[in-house]
Amino acid sequence: MTQKPSFLSLLLRNKAAAMGLVVLAVVLLTAIIGPFLYQVDPWAITGQTLLWPGVDPAHPLGTDVLGRDVLSGLISGARISLLIGVSATAASVMVGIVIGGLAGYFRGQVDNVLMRLTEIFQTIPSFIFVIMLVAVFHPSITVVVLSIATVSWPPVARLVRGEFLSLRQRPYVQSCIVVGMGELRIIFTQILPNAMAPIVVTASIMVASAILIEAGLAFLGLQDPNVMSWGAMIGFGRTVLRTAWYLSAIPGIVIFFTVLAISLVGEGLNDALNPRGTGQ
Amino acid sequence: MNSLVRYLGWRTTQSIGVVIAIACINFLILHIAPGDAVDIMAGEAGAGDPEYMEALRKSFGLDQPVHIQLFHYLWNLFQFNLGYSFHYGIPVSELIFDKLPATLLLMVASLLIALLGGIVLGVTASRRPGSIYDTTISLVSLLGYATPLFWLGLMLIVVFSLKLGLLPSNGMYTIGKNYSVWGAALDVLHHLILPAVTLALFFMATYTRIMRAQMLQVFGQEFVRTARSKGISERRVVYRHVLRNAVLPLVSLFGVQVGGVLGGAVVVEVVFGWPGLGRLAFDSIFQRDFNLLMGILFFSSVLVVIVNLLVDFLYALLDPRIEVVA
Amino acid sequence: MTKISNRDRLRLIGGLGAFSAMNAIAVPAAVLGGSSAASAQGQRTLSWSVNPEPPSLNAAFTSASIVQQVSSKMMEGLCTYDHELNPLPGLAKSWEISPNGETIVFKLREGVKWHDGKPFTSADVKFTFEEILKKRHPRGRATYANLEAVETPDAMTAVFKLSGPSPYIMSSLAGAESPILPKHIYDKADPSKVREVNAPIGTGPFKFVNWERGSHLMLERNPDYWDAGKPGIDQLIVRFIPDTGARVVAFETGELDLAGGFPVGLDDIVRLSKEPNIGVTSFGFAMLGAMHYFEFNMRDPQFQDVRVRQAMAHAIDRDFLIKNVWFGFASAATGPVSQKLANSYSADVPAYPFDPARAEALLDEAGFPRKDDGIRFRITHDPSPYNDRFKRFGEYFKQAMATIGVAVDLRIGDVGTWLRRVWTDNDYQTTSYGIYNTTDPSIGVQRMYWSKNIRKGVPYTNGSGYSNPEMDRIMEAAQVEPDPMKRKALFADMQRKAMTDLPIIPILNEDYVTVYNKRVQNVEGDVAGVYGTFADISIAS
């Protein structure tokens, strides 16, 4: 735990990661206070449709097919897209920790059964599976989040299992077992905190990929029609791609920068947390 | 070698279990779905007739209770019978084998591009960490990682097909033209470039990053230092010693990513009109063509399992240090 | 001429490396040797896009419009139609209808041959109507319900014996709707399983060559077509390109010559129409009568008061939709029958012009005042998920209702989910969808309003649950009325009633278009457009 003070400085020393952090902070701020600063209803149909960016100061980024303001869409989309990314990741990390942890801690038959389960979900082609889930259970935001989580947890489970297997053998854990500490307590106070570093790194990448998956679903027309996410905006703009490409390009670029920022931060975290870097 | 055979036998048995479980999961999820193939067909027809629909359901076996249907399905699977496609009315296996070559070609091509590109870029970046090359390559690989696949495909079409007119935007070959053997082959390659590159870029980004990290790690190891101290040229050190050791994890990643590439293929096949399995799967979801979709998922799961077995095997062969323990 | 199939090409590529020698070249050298570019050059090839890919190729067993498009090139009907949808000779040279409307005598065209060389006779007509269309065509059961038998006094005469007058039969005989099949091929235990269902043998101007699923369908000129000299195309390639953006590009690069319906995004049609080499025509879709309907679930307590339904009709701005969602390719509907059905359309109906203030007043009157949060009540809306403009309508509707204080929760599932919700489970409050009037309101419109057609599980029937005995009586009378003028009056009553009770708000007539490369000639030669035979189309050489 003595590493802690140097961690942030390590992260910030990495220029790319620092830049990523800045971009991410901007996106987060937009998501939190944006709607208060720019009070335009993203769904409201204004008179002007398909207005290009920069033409009318009332709509700095233009309007879409139905005359909805693009900027306010982006702002409210920031919330939704981050929410989808973070909650899908949170859900899959939780499942991954439970399954991987149980498998790694108890080993034997438990491990065997849970790892087969993990293998099942790793073998099904994940994107096709997500499409199937979302199509079957209607594209609502909850379904999208849960579907993404359903296919995203296996790598976490494998990672956690590996960490648990090795940490379990460490002398300090062994001594806790000898002392007679409860299993849950050992798991939550001794093993899990020490396994968190690689989990955090993996999770950061997963947020990025969840945002990309959501955009992919929206491209295929599988988005929640009541919620303005960046992916949904691309979906709305897709039909007029050739005449009003800015409608897909703007949210596309925003997704690109956000995902890039998250990846940079993730990479920085990785370097800062394990300086030797295993690349895994 | 005996232990290797035993190991592989054990892995194969396990994999069969996994594949059966996948078949059951898919079956159950699809049967929770509201609506069936007959609804869709009646909807497409813009009209329907209750007796007509009932007769169709009966002929598809959709009037049976779910557990009976599942039992029938599994029983047929054991006989390698994937059933009939409701939508197309021909055997699922026929449809799959019709489309398989196109998808395999796309997958193999893009994985090769990704692998070669990833190795070259990763090695280049790792030779002088922190240099301008390294930074540029890292940035480019991040670009590949952060761009939505479909968006990239659309942009490539706009640039290379529409603006420059260099490459075809759609399909797999020029229909209705008579070519010689080589002409036909070149024609397909010509059509393959855009979709394969689109699909490859994402995976290339991953490979580049992992390759770079691996190279850096191996550079630090004892035997490299020994080799250098023996006065072996740097080029030889890189290519003979470091590269060989760094490529191993890439091989295993290759196995894991087969499923992912197939998923990416859905989007790419839709964007480029590539007549492959991904598109077939996508359409079958919306047609509620359960047999077809389950067939494709089953088939691709088998594919993933086989590739992974091969990777395990390759791994064991390439790296004698790895002990295979059943 | 050498043809290399898809699979052979892959084998060839396989030979290049990817699959090594394992499954390398299985194509005999002799086949590959004689490839001649010269024979290909003289070919007049038309590249036509159809989307989505049809599940089968024979419209006798399905009424899916996508199958009708391709089937009609290979198989023909007894009649074709003029611009007012009056019947013209097809495989039937002439016909005579008895005064009581219960007998129709068809004189068939002589010298017509099936693609396999066998002659076309009245036995084929008898077999097709009695065994196929009446029993296996989804709409045929209803259309030919009164058809008791087809008598064949000689090889070139077919006599329809009807149990009652069925005026709509004469408008249902086009090749797309009622194709004639060769008896000698389909006279089997299960005709729908005959191989030729997907490799049709017909009398049409084009012969089946091969079908590469997921890629294209190849047809070639029928040299023995009865209308000598036609068609003006040697090779007809039907391409299946799933992405609308890709179809636009294919038009721009000249890879595609023709596509009907709304083949590309509507804004792209506007843009393409400005290209010098591309033409756009709305001609050729009159026989569909494509409409866009909004429907209430009449079982829902909130919609019992007609004023609520009227209020919602007043709150929909059709001009906005036409301009911004349909990009001008639609016109406002006044009632359930399309203006294009000149023989049955009536303008004399209650109208609901766009008037949000009136809408709010009606809702107040009906006892749904705005509450503290400004909302009167909440409803769900399930737009048809078939295409983007229908989904966009849903988004517009949500906003339009918000302005009059009705909160709408959109539910967009996939097609299977939507069909089940609306027509099987009736688990919806409002829905909207595209629907075809076809050529006759007794076939295409009655089904949505007739209380005897409330049939769970069957799409595009009376899903709203609307039931009015007076309405039933009017429609049933129109169904059997042989006199055209009296029939038209009955249809006018029906339209007035429909717009008074308002279980359905007809929103728009969709003006489908055909987009074509201008090297294609005589695109407007056939009133059936892309549902016609393409016999009249030719290509500038």
Regarding whether C399 and C306 lie in a shared domain, the answer is yes
Same domain, yes or no: C505 and C526: no
Distance CA C208, CA C197 (A): 11
How many whole angstroms separate alpha carbon B278 and alpha carbon B295? 12
A67 touches chain C (CB under 8 A): yes
Residue from C459, C428, C460 nearest C300 by CA: C428
How big is the B-C interface in CB pairs under 8 Å?
216
Is there a contact between A66 and C395 if contact means CB atoms under 8 Å apart?
yes
Residue of chain A nearest C413, judged by CA positions: A138
Say if residue C171 is in the same domain as residue C235.
Answer: no
Q: Pick the closest to residue B160 from B200, B116, B137, B190 (CA basis).
A: B190
The alpha carbon of residue A138 is apart from the nearest alpha carbon of chain C, in Å, by 5
CA trace torsion C69, C74, C75, C79 (10° rounding): 70
Q: What is the pLDDT of residue B324?
A: 45
Q: How far is B80 from chain C (nearest CA, A)?
A: 22
8 Å CB contact of B259 and A122: yes
Measured CA to CA, the distance from residue B313 to residue C127 in angstroms comes to 62
DSSP per-residue letters across A54-70: TTBTTBTT-B-TT--BH
Q: For residue C235, give the 3-state DSSP assignment.
A: strand
Tokens of residue A61, six digits? 């980024």
**Which residue in C227, C252, C287 sits closest to C437, CA to CA?**
C287
**Is the minimum CB–CB distance between B10 and chain A shorter than 8 Å?**
no
Of B45, B88, B101, the CB nearest to C138: B45
**Which residue's structure tokens are 């961690």?**
A7
Cβ–Cβ of A248/B148 closer than 8 Å?
Answer: no
Domain of B122, in residue numbers = 92-316
Residue B205 lies in a domain: yes
| Domain end residue (candidates: C130, C157, C186) | C186
d(CA B288, CA C417): 10
In angstroms, the separation between the Cα of residue A275 and the nearest Cα of chain C is 40
Six token digits for residue C167? 């005026």
Domain endpoint, select from B78, B100, B116: B78
Query: Is residue B323 domain-resident?
Result: no
Give C173→chain B minimum CA distance, Å: 17
Give the Cα separation of B266 and A130 in Å (integer).
12
How many CB atoms sit inside 10 A of residue B65's CB?
8
Interface-testing mutation among A136, A234, A239, with chain C (most C C-beta atoms within 10 A): A239
pLDDT in tens, A114-142: 888 888 888 888 888 898 888 888 788 89
When scoring A118, A128, A205 by the number of chain B Cβ atoms within 10 A, the one with the most, hence best to mutate, is: A128
Residue with tokens 């006798």: C60
Query: How far is Cα C269 from Cα C271, in angstroms, rounded to an integer?
Result: 5
Tell me how far CA of residue C393 lies from CA of A203, C271, C308, in angstroms. Answer: 39, 22, 20
* Cα–Cα distance, B298 to B321 (Å, whole number): 34
Within-domain flag for C9: no
Question: Helix, strand or coil for residue C146?
Answer: coil
Q: Measure in Å the smallest separation between the Cα of C90 and chain B Cα atoms.
A: 24
> Which residue of B264, B267, B304 is in closest CB contact with A219?
B267
For tokens 């039992």, the residue is: B71
On whether any CB of chain C is under 8 Å from the CB of B93, the answer is no
Give the pLDDT confidence score for residue C27 in this predicted structure.
33
Of A43, A139, A242, the CB nearest to C268: A242
Q: What is the pTM of this model?
A: 0.78
C154 and C59 share one domain? no
Cβ-contact C337, C437 below 8 angstroms = yes
- Judge if B161 and B72 occupy the same domain: no
Contact yes or no for A128 and B301 at CB 8 A: no
Residues C353 and C225 in one domain: no
Residues sharing a CB contact under 8 Å with residue C95, sequence separation 6 or more, in sequence order: C78, C87, C104, C105, C106, C107
Chains in touch with B (3+ beta-carbon pairs under 8 Å) read A, C
Domain final residue, candidates B51, B78, B105: B78
Query: What pLDDT does C296 receive?
Result: 96
Residue B69: alpha-carbon gap to chain centroid: 29
Q: Report d(CA A169, CA A166) in Å as an integer.
A: 6
Number of domains in chain B: 2
Which of residues B78, B111, B128 is at a domain's end?
A: B78
- Helix, strand counts (H, E) of chain C: 19, 21
Closest-CA distance, C242 to chain B, in angstroms, reads: 6
3-state secondary structure of B248: helix
Report the pLDDT value the prediction gives residue A279, as an integer from 0 to 100.
39
Interface of C with B in 494-533 (CB under 8 A): none
Token look-up 């920085």 returns A268
> CB distance A226–C324 less than 8 Å?
no
Task: Let me know if residue C12 belongs to a domain.
Answer: no
Residue in B36, B168, B271 closest to C243 by CB: B271
Q: Are A199 and A160 in contact (CB under 8 A)?
A: yes
pLDDT score at C48: 95
Write the DSSP string, A86-101: HHHHHHHHHHHHHHHH
Same domain, C166 and C314: no
Q: Do B151 and A234 touch (CB under 8 A)?
A: yes
Q: Residues with Cβ < 8 Å from C231, sequence gap 6 or more?
A: C205, C206, C221, C222, C225, C533, C534, C535, C536, C537, C538
Q: How far apart, in whole angstroms, are the C-alpha atoms of residue A186 and residue A93?
A: 20
What is the reported pLDDT for B326?
A: 34
Instruction: Supply the CATH classification number for the domain A12-274.
Output: 1.10.3720.10
The residue of A81, A118, A120 whose CB has the most chain B CBs within 10 angstroms, and thus the best one to mutate to test that interface, is: A120
- The alpha carbon of residue C416 is apart from the nearest alpha carbon of chain A, in Å, by 9
C-alpha of C386 from chain center: 13
pLDDT at residue C33, as a whole number: 31
Q: Is residue C470 part of a domain?
A: yes
Contacts of C43 in chain B (CB under 8 A): 176
pLDDT of the residue at C508:
95
Same domain (yes/no): B101, B171: yes
Examine the domain organization and report whether C311 and C411 are in the same domain. yes
d(CA C277, CA A75): 42
Q: How many CB atoms lie within 10 A of CB B317?
A: 10
Q: What is the number of domains present in chain C?
A: 3
The domain that contains C101 carries what CATH number? 3.90.76.10
The answer to whether residues C376 and C406 touch, using CB atoms and an 8 Å cutoff, is yes
DSSP-derived letter for residue C412 is -
Compute the nearest-CA separation of C177 from chain B (Å).
Answer: 11
What pLDDT is stored for residue C401 in this prediction?
95
- Provide the chain A residues 233-252 that lie in CB contact (below 8 A) with chain C: 236, 238-244
Which other chains touch chain A, taking contact as 3+ CB pairs less than 8 Å apart?
B, C
- Tokens matching residue B232: 């072996």
Which regions of chain B are under pLDDT 50? 322-326
Residue numbers of the domain that contains C325? 289-510
Looking at residue C220, its pLDDT comes to 95
pLDDT at C271: 85
| B42: nearest CA partner in chain C | C459
In the three-class reduction of DSSP (H, G, I as helix; E, B as strand; rest coil), residue C232 is classed as strand
Do residues B9 and C392 touch, judged by C-beta distance below 8 A? no
How far apart (Å, rounded) are the C-alpha atoms in residues C230 and B229?
Answer: 84
Say yes or no for a CB contact (<8 Å) between C324 and A49.
Answer: yes
Contacts A67 to C, Cβ<8 Å: 324
Residues of B in contact with A255 (CB under 8 A): 146, 148
Do residues B53 and B147 both lie within one domain? no
Are C317 and C339 contained in the same domain? yes
Cα separation, A267 vs C520, whole angstroms: 57
DSSP string, C157-196: EEEEEESS--GGGGGS-STTTS----HHHH-SSSGGGSGG
Interaxial angle between packed helices A70-106 and A15-37, expressed in degrees from 0 to 180 and rounded to the nearest 10: 130
Instruction: Identify which has the larger pLDDT, A27 or A242.
Output: A27
A219·B148 Cβ contact <8 A: yes
Q: How far apart are CA C221 and CA A26, in angstroms?
A: 63
Looking at residue A260, what is its pLDDT?
87
Which tokens go with B104?
């395999």
Q: Do C214 and B99 touch (CB under 8 A)?
A: yes
Could you tell me how many CB contacts below 8 A there are between chain A and chain B?
130
pLDDT in the model for residue B320:
54
How many other CB atoms sit within 10 Å of the CB of residue B79? 7
**Same domain (yes/no): B262, B114:** yes
Contacting subunits of C (3+ beta carbon pairs below 8 A): A, B
pLDDT at C24: 30
One domain for residues C492 and C517: no
DSSP A186: I
In this prediction, residue C297 carries a pLDDT of 96
* B48 and B142 within one domain: no
C8 within domain boundaries: no
Give the minimum alpha-carbon distance from C71 to chain A in angstroms, rounded to a whole number.
29
Q: Are residues B185 and B38 in the same domain?
A: no
Q: How far apart are CA C67 and CA C55, in angstroms?
A: 7
User: Do residues B280 and B177 both lie within one domain?
Assistant: yes
Q: Find the closest chain C residue to B96 by CA distance.
A: C213
Identify whether the C-beta of residue C529 lies closer than 8 Å to the C-beta of residue C366: no
Which is it for the CA torsion C457, C461, C462, C463, positive or negative? positive
d(CA B81, CA C219): 32
Kindly state whether residues C482 and C520 are assigned to the same domain. Answer: no
Q: Report chain A residues whose CB lies below 8 A from the CB of C320.
A: 45
C215 shares contact with chain B (CB less than 8 Å): yes
> Given CB atoms, is C414 within the 8 Å cutoff of chain B?
yes
A136 phi/psi in degrees, rounded to 5: -70, -40
Q: What is the pLDDT of residue B135?
A: 80
User: What's the rounded Cα separation, in Å, for the pair A271 and B90?
Assistant: 54
Contact A136 B32 (CB under 8 A): yes
Do C399 and C437 belong to one domain? yes
Query: In this structure, is residue B55 part of a structural domain?
Result: yes
pLDDT (tens place) for every residue of chain C, 541 residues total: 344 444 444 333 333 333 333 333 333 333 333 333 333 456 899 999 998 888 889 999 888 888 999 999 999 999 998 877 889 999 999 999 998 889 999 999 999 999 999 999 999 999 999 999 998 887 887 889 899 999 999 999 999 999 988 888 998 999 999 999 999 999 988 887 788 888 999 999 999 999 988 789 999 999 999 998 889 999 999 998 877 777 888 888 888 999 998 888 888 898 889 889 999 998 888 778 899 999 999 999 999 999 999 999 999 999 999 988 898 999 999 999 998 888 899 999 999 999 999 999 999 999 999 999 999 999 999 999 888 889 889 999 999 999 999 999 998 877 778 888 888 889 999 999 999 888 889 888 998 999 988 877 778 889 899 999 999 999 999 988 888 899 999 999 999 999 999 999 999 999 999 999 999 999 988 888 899 999 999 987 6
Measured at the CA of C174, the angle between CA C280 and CA C161, to 5 degrees, comes to 165
Instruction: Report the CATH number at residue B138.
Output: 1.10.3720.10
Nearest-CA residue of chain C relative to B278?
A: C214
Residues 194-213 of C with CB under 8 A from B: 197-198, 212-213
Give the phi and the psi of residue B24 in degrees, each rounded to 5.
-65, -45
Work out the number of other CB atoms within 10 angstroms of the CB of residue A43.
17
Query: Own/partner pairs for B310-315, CB < 8 Å, 24+ apart?
Result: B310/B255, B311/B251, B311/B252, B311/B254, B311/B255, B312/B7, B312/B8, B312/B11, B312/B255, B313/B4, B313/B8, B314/B251, B315/B248, B315/B251, B315/B252
Residues 132-191 of C with CB under 8 A from B: 136, 138-139, 141-142
